[in-house]
Chain A
Amino acid sequence: MLKRTLVANRGEIACRILRACREAGIEGVAIYAENDSGTLFTELADIAVQLEGEGLAETYLNQQQILQIALETGCDSVHPGFGFLSERADFAQAVMDSGLTWIGPSPEAITKMGDKMTARITMKEAGVPVIPGEEVTGGLEEVLQIAPSVGYPLLLKATAGGGGKGMRAVHKQEDLESEARAAMREALNAFGDDRIYVERLLTGSRHIEIQVLADKYGKTIHLGERECSIQRRHQKVFEESPSVALDAELREAMGEAACDAARAVAYEGAGTVEFLVTPKGEFFFLEMNTRIQVEHPVTEMVTGVDLVREQLRIAGGEAMSCGPLNMRGHAIEVRLYAEDPSNNFLPAIGVLKKFIAPTGPGVRLDTGVREGDAVTPDYDPMLAKLIVWAPSREEALQRMGRALDEFVVLGCTTNVRFLRELCTNRDVVDGWTTTDMIDRLWPDGWSPDQSGKILDAGLLIAAACESTNHGKTVTSSVGGSVIPSPFSTISRRYP
């Protein structure tokens, strides 16, 4: 049993983990950079310690400082969340060397899966199908040499990669060198490692991943799939489970392959094996994410398993608690980003002057922000994850649409309208979701249709608000006369 856990993360996922800790009776320790002081996750912790320094390298990526805080605050374990240090084998090792429990797989498993080339080789050996492509050991020269033999279109990927950074699609030979240079530069900036490799770009395919859980007692299970095909800039924006593309047979085959992948690296804890599924129903190993994932709530909604709680349980040396799974209904997650979808999904900043989140049956919101918070360029622009569950896919799409209509964010541009339109988009409704669909549907970019009635309505509201100084006028009940409770004045009613 774990007693006190340091959460080496911030924002939404830190909130998720700290809440799970509290439910499990584990004390949570938050660490935060100065510009995160006062944010939600620091309040959800039993102890919150401010990190010294500025910028990611000195704060959330500062292994030494984080480890020192863990020891000084008497922690027995460290949960890395996702991003930041979650897939750093050296950090996992340092945590373990300090006598603390690392809530995640072994450093060996992280290393094998984190290096995409080693992962490819390991998976080939384990009999898991991999995408046709070439591993590259040399630099740019070798990339240029090898690419033509893989064939176009191809994908350049960062060997240390993830999250779409350092990933470039190349459609013709002329673009190869400049794209390779850009990919290497992005990879170097994001991961401190500029190695890339070459893979065939499988167009029209789906991104489907399998959630796995493995404990220390030899039990490795899969918890079904998540389809995450709808992506922009190679980053997911819309995830669902189950996938319309999988029947029971393919699900079982992919589930088994995922478990094989996990067993091949003696995996422990929660992990995700990502596959590309072609229109013909072939599936290829993409990569394994050796951490909890952004879209884990989708699986939680359809399986009823609390994945973060299972992570804590497994790391604490217990067996996983879930028995045979009984999947039910349909779950969808959308990622609310501070970004401008009508301007190539470029990140946006601002102050969340209004942040009114939807509620109601089957609606879950995972967020780390609140009204009044500032959205800065310092961190990832994801503001919230909105997850819905409903008995069927059709109802889940309707519920998500309704929830997004209720979602009000003012002061910072977001993709909320784009997400809303996905819910009624013909291809999405029909289940024709592929990784290239955003480019396919909106080759010249997406922009909201705000002509006619919408524009007239908005204009009328702006004009009326400007005339009445809306929101500025102090209403008499605020700060003025407070209506007394009838209970506190009860004696006065019978003079």
Chain B
Amino acid sequence: MEFKTSNGRIEIDPSRDGNSFTNEGMVLHTGENLWLEIEGRKHKAVATKVGDVWWVHVLGHTLQFEVVEAGASSADDEGGLTAPMPGKILEVHVTEGQSVASGDILMVMEAMKMEHKIVASSDGKVESIHFKEGDQVPQGAELLTLSE
């Protein structure tokens, strides 16, 4: 089984015995409640699925794992710069065709009354700009496209 995390893709293939799953010396007992057993100590876990993502709370941490459908391509998180929050574009610092360096401020947007800078993550050229000053943008909207 394959999952996508913030640090890339991970595969796991736990062994199953009835409602219990084992991997890396840990045993998870499933049922109405989730119990994780590590070296004879039990830890309660809570998990729920939102869309394709499993949200897991265990050992005081909250983790997210996106289910990857078998055969899906892995090139889906490259390229565009997206709005981290719904908000309003305050400033556009670049024009189409302009070359930018990693770390350059491309746009400034406002969300929840705070200003956020949209910064180039790599060197490149501004291929297209999708919003102008004053535009409202939804979360996840691609703001502009950079090419290598």
Contacts and interface: CB of A to CB of B under 8 A. Distances in A.
A328 interface: no
A454 B19 contact: no
B24 A462 contact: no
B34 A453 contact: no
B30 interface: yes
A362 interface: no
Contact of B48 (A453, A464, A471): A471
Contact of B28 (A189, A343, A461): A461
Contact of B90 (A185, A381, A454, A459): A185
Contacts of A354: 46, 48, 55, 57
A408 B46 contact: yes
A347 B113 CA distance: 11
A10 B102 CA distance: 42
A454 B63 contact: yes
Contacts of B59: 453-454, 457
B92 to A, nearest CB: 15
Interface in A337-367: 343, 346-347, 349-351, 353-354, 356
A467 B21 contact: yes
Interface string B60-81: 1111010100000000000000
Give the most central of A233, A377, A414: most B CB within 10 Å. Answer: A377
Contact of A471 (B1, B47, B62, B85): B47
A244 interface: no
A429 interface: no
Nearest to A350: B50
B34 A470 contact: yes
Which of A165, A233, A465 has the most chain B CB atoms closer than 10 A to its own CB?
Answer: A465
B54 A466 contact: yes
B131 interface: no
Interface in B97-148: 110-116, 139
B36 interface: yes
A353 B86 CA distance: 21
B94 interface: no
B16 A459 contact: no
B60 A460 contact: no
A377 B61 contact: no
B54 A465 contact: yes
A262 B14 CA distance: 65
A420 B43 CA distance: 17
Interface string B19-52: 1010110101010101010100001011111100
Interface in A257-310: none
Contact of B14 (A405, A411, A460): A460
B57 A410 contact: yes
Contacts of A76: none
A404 B46 contact: no
Contact of B46 (A347, A356, A457, A468): A356
A468 B54 CA distance: 13
Given A182-B115, A465-B30, A471-B49, A347 B58 contact: no
A495 interface: no
B113 A410 contact: no
A237 to B, nearest CB: 15
B21 A464 contact: yes
B111 A450 contact: no
B112 A458 contact: no
A377 B111 contact: yes
Nearest to A343: B84
A346 B63 contact: no
A186 B113 contact: yes
A457 B26 contact: yes
Nearest to B52: A466
A11 B110 CA distance: 23
A459 B36 contact: no
Interface in A141-188: 165, 182, 185-186
Given A189-B113, A460-B24, A475 B32 contact: yes
B113 A463 contact: no
Contacts of B46: 354, 356, 408, 410
Contacts of B36: 457, 460-461
A33 interface: no
Contact of A353 (B12, B55, B63): B55
A470 B116 contact: no
Contacts of B61: 417, 448, 450, 454, 458
Interface of A: 165, 182, 185-186, 189-190, 233, 343, 346-347, 349-351, 353-354, 356, 377, 380-381, 404-405, 408-411, 413-414, 416-417, 420, 448, 450, 453-468, 470-472, 475
Smallest CB-CB A-B distances: 8 pairs: A458-B63, A410-B55, A462-B65, A464-B21, A462-B54, A405-B60, A408-B57, A353-B48
Given A189-B110, A470-B49, 8 more contacts: A349-B85, A351-B50, A354-B55, A405-B60, A456-B26, A457-B38, A457-B58, A461-B36
30 contacts: A186-B114, A189-B113, A233-B114, A346-B116, A349-B139, A354-B55, A356-B46, A408-B62, A409-B62, A410-B55, A417-B62, A420-B60, A453-B59, A454-B63, A455-B5, A456-B24, A457-B43, A457-B45, A458-B58, A458-B63, A459-B65, A460-B21, A460-B24, A460-B26, A464-B28, A465-B49, A465-B56, A466-B54, A467-B1, A470-B30
